[in-house]
Structure 1
């Protein structure tokens, strides 16, 4: 009887195979199937090919990279053959004995599991892929599978057939391929599957969406064939099938950059090589998380880090957030816009240097200041609410004093300053007038990426160029992305020299602050309004490092400044980046002059406390032609570079006399912050006081302020228009 059934089945199937039906196109080679395998996830690679991050791209299917048969556990290889095709290694594509049994059972309407071999199933999977998911369950398609199975057996090795099958077969739900199933259900790689896990996987091939008890029973059958116990298989099956989400077993270091890669790479791209260095990415991530854990009691949960190669513009580390420490883990803080606080001050002074308005030795008055704006008076304060009187630009920038920076910004004007910041790539959303005087203190919002690249411009001697995070070079840059000189190299050097001067910042930070590095490094911290944002950005000869610390929600931190929030992370990174080779200071351009200077303390300065506050003698750097050995009040680069000693009237002011108003209400205030000085108008002495009220007279006037020795400290010109004052008024 058995021989009769076999003979009958062979005759029937032989007739099918010899029938001139179209069995479909020739199946592809193993190499082409493997080469065209497309995972559902995008994998980010570092500059050496090390995986950095895996992120889901195709939401319709869960498919991971191809797994070689040698990387699949022997238990899995055994289980799938026992479950699906026990004579896999003997037949030539069609198991005639199984066909005979299946055909006879179907003739008598008996239920069987069918006669499809692994090779036939693979042929069906390949045909289904080519025909966009056609069903494989009718008899004509079974014949087509048998036909193609013979082709596969003639052209492919048995091991290739089994390898391709395990990578292409659906397991459960959206999960396709052994790698995705193994990571999703068992949280391990296919190489680590044991006998029970492999039996469950094999059972899922037969019934991908079966209930847990059915899968466990079938898995036990596979184990029984191997003479293995089934103890605990029900619990293991229930736990595996209850797993939610798709586990990532490889180290996940750059989720935010992976999301950016998905947005900026063509659909179908499943692997992106980046310029990131896994060593620095891992270090930056770990340092950020460690420091934020220490700051958690101070209301801090978010942060970001970026590391740039100065010469190439390549991004070496991009940490967009703190991971599970944050309530907004998906927000990329490298690209989020925040107020940068004092980190914009170097660019304010750089522009003032370039325009010969100030030098590093120029004296600015750190005292209470009120600037009228369209919304009222703008009254800047220093971080510690103290004022230090007359200070040099080096001291003002090194110690991050706010009032001198606002005075310097007022000399430039907000529109001019905004244009310079845009030239540096900060991409301000509004014109300078929108921000007003506060622009010098960082009232505009910028990204950590753009701000760090602006500092890289200083490191590169004033030349701006775009950043690059993809390993493949851009073939053609847009005009706006071409490298360009933003400021002269000597100006960039002057600013860098101040930012690298540990002594210059000692007034605020001390000599042993976290900003002091073993080698050369120029660095600036910043804290935005209400302590919502901490910044620390700086550069060595080779690297630029930017760090932001704060809260994605915008909620303020508690007693966390730039030097305690972001700076420790910056300092640790710089130390590790230069552990093998300390950074060396750059050589000054030929147009930079260094000479000793002193400050003339004989002129009363009227500091906030009433005492003189003058910098100590030192070596200073200048743009050629702006240097001088002795600096007194009223001197900047010539007199035009000084902080104005005459506070009122403003240079070029025009006053109009109203003949119908009483003269006493039209007097012009002559105001200065200095003491022991004398007012002179049009060459005639008016008197000695810090505030006088002068009755105006039509004409053009020259007002000067002189010290006790008769030297001119400051001078302004203004004009009065209109009729003369009424008779009896004193001039």
Structure 2
């Protein structure tokens, strides 16, 4: 048996490995996600079998702990060569007389047992073969390793309590501090746990008190009662959370695409900017809590490289759904799709930035009924230029633009910009102009980055480029650069957005930026996405549950966060407007009837013109009245209903209060006096004159136009569909 034990020990000696090899093979139970500069963003547990922190060098461990461990486990550690023969003799003599004594295993022998599974301590203790193998391996380790290396390896590999392995896991779990910060009392408790990892707090405190007395010497009094209280508190603590840091959502996504077992994973994020984005989001959402807002998300992209500099997926503790990643969640983008629509219309030369669009009630027949777009403020501005329509985010002109472009070609344009729609364009219809499709904040913000890059698209990335961080991404043309430039100029024009946002809104920065806000149906989502010369920032505010917010607009919801981040990004970095690409030129334009002020406007070469005016034919009523003035014997022209058309089907939207879904009835008075016209539905008179507003209710109805005598002069039949309509009041 002795020969077999010696043979096993010899085998252990022949396979002894070096200190550096052990340290390189060490794997913590957590992976650290680092920012672009090497700063820790997130700590994520990836090994659930044990709890190990990162390898701690000896100079990162408190001197008190090193002393406590040597005094507790191996007093002659610095004197022996792996085996303490004096301790072996004492143990043998005690065993001969059946006396209890501490084991004779040195720190080096214990380390040998930790390094070799064949020598590991079992439930019944080590047998003779293992003890001899331990001694032989310890002697070999002492001949090739330095004492400081042996102690360092031991402190990083020794089990302490439960799942805790190594001094880092112990220090951070039981004492909530790094290993270099342990004081004498904490060091004594840690040393006591090595001998009895699962002992009760009183037993641990008793042993720790003995260690502490040895550390301090006989002249320094030791209060063991205080140590007992410390043991109760420390051993009652649970392991710290499985994930800690400021980028949990990005960390989860990054680890899913990384190699298994990596101790550290580097990202493209900037820790300083990540903290700022998180703090700005949380602070502003706290201010909006009274308006039923609890969630939000932020992403910051570098325009040139596409690298993600900040990725905040939720408001953290403020959210009831903190695990939901708002950067990737699919939400309705509202008006933030409009810039791509107008860019496509410009590129196809269907419009110019100075083209006039009619912001007035529109009734568009669709397969599911009549589509009636409304502006955010439920008001209409009349004839406006495309520049004003886009910058002021007017809905009806955008829908009229999509009628020119068509939904499916627009959907293809969005896909080219990286926005992956779930359905084809015809599925969404004309509502696609107002953001009825669902997109993610990441895709939407990267599409705006394509605008910032002159219509060139490349995927965003959160992994550092290989082989060089300065590598240029592979761009693909996704949008006409001339159209992208004109849209960018519009989004940066504070005067053009004044109709809706005023001249001094939060969207106006002291440096050059281009920005667009958006609010989805029923105020469920609020967005602000924009870019400077160097960065693109996207912000979403809302509720992960989909519940509506109360009176939160583009400028009060996401925009303040966007503006705060942009100010920080350009605190010391200038931002200049892009240079016009070849094929665009600037021309002075005038507008008829003083619809808009004279200005210089950008055009695609060949589409410029100096005057934009509305030429309308005189109405039938005015023509007949003029004719009657010339010829009193001209035949009378009866009044007629112009809108709605016969057979119209209206669908009430349950998410819009009925009071905001009024239908405009219009008529041509013909040769009659317009003031004599009466609008009647059923037995109710709902208005007088050539125009009236009607609040629809479900059912089939006949709209009649009567004269002052009550005679029916014209009528239209229509159907109103809808049920479960919300109350008549709307939160402001």
User: TM-score, normalization: structure 1?
Assistant: 0.81
The counterpart of 1:254, out of the listed 244, 247, 260, is 247
Aligned to 1:212: 201
C-alpha separation in 2, matches of 1:197 and 1:623: 74
Return the offset for 1:353.
0.7
> 1:137-148, aligned counterparts within 5 Å?
137-148=126-137
For the pair 1:308 / 2:289, whether they are aligned, the reply is: no
Counterpart secondary structure, 1:593: strand
> 1:553-632, aligned counterparts within 5 Å?
553-601=545-593, 614-632=595-613
The counterpart of 2:487, out of the listed 478, 487, 495, is 495
Counterpart secondary structure, 1:346: helix
User: Unaligned stretches of 5+ in structure 1?
Assistant: 1-11, 476-480, 602-612, 635-644, 647-671, 679-685, 694-731
The counterpart of 1:187, out of the listed 176, 183, 192, is 176
1:677 and 1:689 in contact (8 A); partners too? no
C-alpha separation in 2, matches of 1:587 and 1:631: 26
For the pair 1:114 / 2:107, whether they are aligned, the reply is: no
C-alpha separation in 1, matches of 2:190 and 2:346: 71
Aligned to 1:96: 85
Aligned to 1:38: 27
Aligned to 1:344: 337
C-alpha separation in 1, matches of 2:171 and 2:7: 41
1:64 and 1:180 in contact (8 A); partners too? yes
Aligned to 1:728: none
Aligned to 1:465: 458
Aligned to 1:414: 407
C-alpha separation in 1, matches of 2:227 and 2:35: 40
Return the offset for 1:247.
5.4
Return the offset for 1:552.
1.2
For the pair 1:58 / 2:67, whether they are aligned, the reply is: no
Distance 1:13 1:354, change over 3 A: same
Return the offset for 1:115.
1.3
Distance 1:109 1:411, change over 3 A: farther
Output one character per residue of 1:185-219: Cα deviation in whole Å (capped at 9) or x when no partner: 11100011111111111111112222222211221
Return the offset for 1:184.
0.9
Return the offset for 1:437.
1.2
Aligned to 2:145: 156
C-alpha separation in 1, matches of 2:638 and 2:14: 104
1:274 and 1:470 in contact (8 A); partners too? yes
Distance 1:673 1:394, change over 3 A: farther
Output one character per residue of 1:378-407: Cα deviation in whole Å (capped at 9) or x when no partner: 221111111111111111111111111111
Return the offset for 1:366.
0.9
Return the offset for 1:252.
1.9
Aligned to 1:245: 239
Distance 1:131 1:88, change over 3 A: closer
Aligned to 1:235: 229
Distance 1:676 1:306, change over 3 A: farther
Counterpart secondary structure, 1:565: coil
Deviates more, 1:458-467 or 1:57-66: 57-66
2:291 and 2:552 in contact (8 A); partners too? yes
> 1:12-31, aligned counterparts within 5 Å?
17=6, 22-23=11-12, 25-31=14-20
Return the offset for 1:567.
0.4
C-alpha separation in 2, matches of 1:531 and 1:599: 35
Return the offset for 1:230.
2.0
For the pair 1:486 / 2:478, whether they are aligned, the reply is: yes
Counterpart secondary structure, 2:224: coil
The counterpart of 2:508, out of the listed 516, 519, 525, is 516
Counterpart secondary structure, 1:454: helix
Distance 1:21 1:487, change over 3 A: closer
C-alpha separation in 2, matches of 1:673 and 1:314: 58
Return the offset for 1:139.
2.2
Counterpart secondary structure, 1:23: helix
Return the offset for 1:575.
1.0
1:367 and 1:388 in contact (8 A); partners too? yes
Counterpart secondary structure, 2:607: coil
Output one character per residue of 1:631-654: Cα deviation in whole Å (capped at 9) or x when no partner: 0226xxxxxxxxxx79xxxxxxxx
> 1:712-727, aligned counterparts within 5 Å?
none
The counterpart of 1:198, out of the listed 179, 187, 211, is 187
> 1:368-379, aligned counterparts within 5 Å?
368-379=361-372
2:540 and 2:558 in contact (8 A); partners too? yes
Return the offset for 1:245.
3.1
Could you list the structure 1 runs, at least 4 aligned residues long, displaced by more than 4 angstroms after superposition. Answer: 12-21, 129-136, 672-678, 686-693
The counterpart of 1:504, out of the listed 496, 515, 524, is 496
Aligned to 2:627: none
C-alpha separation in 2, matches of 1:574 and 1:498: 19
For the pair 1:287 / 2:268, whether they are aligned, the reply is: no
Counterpart secondary structure, 2:52: coil
Aligned to 1:706: none
User: Unaligned stretches of 5+ in structure 2?
Assistant: 625-635, 644-732
C-alpha separation in 2, matches of 1:318 and 1:147: 54
Deviates more, 1:126-135 or 1:346-355: 126-135
Tell me how large the CA RMSD over aligned residues is.
2.7
C-alpha separation in 2, matches of 1:92 and 1:139: 20
Aligned to 2:72: 83
C-alpha separation in 2, matches of 1:237 and 1:134: 26
The counterpart of 2:262, out of the listed 269, 272, 276, is 269
C-alpha separation in 1, matches of 2:115 and 2:66: 20
Output one character per residue of 1:612-640: Cα deviation in whole Å (capped at 9) or x when no partner: x8222211111111110100226xxxxxx
1:183 and 1:247 in contact (8 A); partners too? no
C-alpha separation in 1, matches of 2:523 and 2:118: 57
C-alpha separation in 2, matches of 1:674 and 1:387: 24
Distance 1:188 1:675, change over 3 A: farther
C-alpha separation in 1, matches of 2:620 and 2:212: 96
C-alpha separation in 2, matches of 1:435 and 1:592: 33
2:517 and 2:526 in contact (8 A); partners too? yes
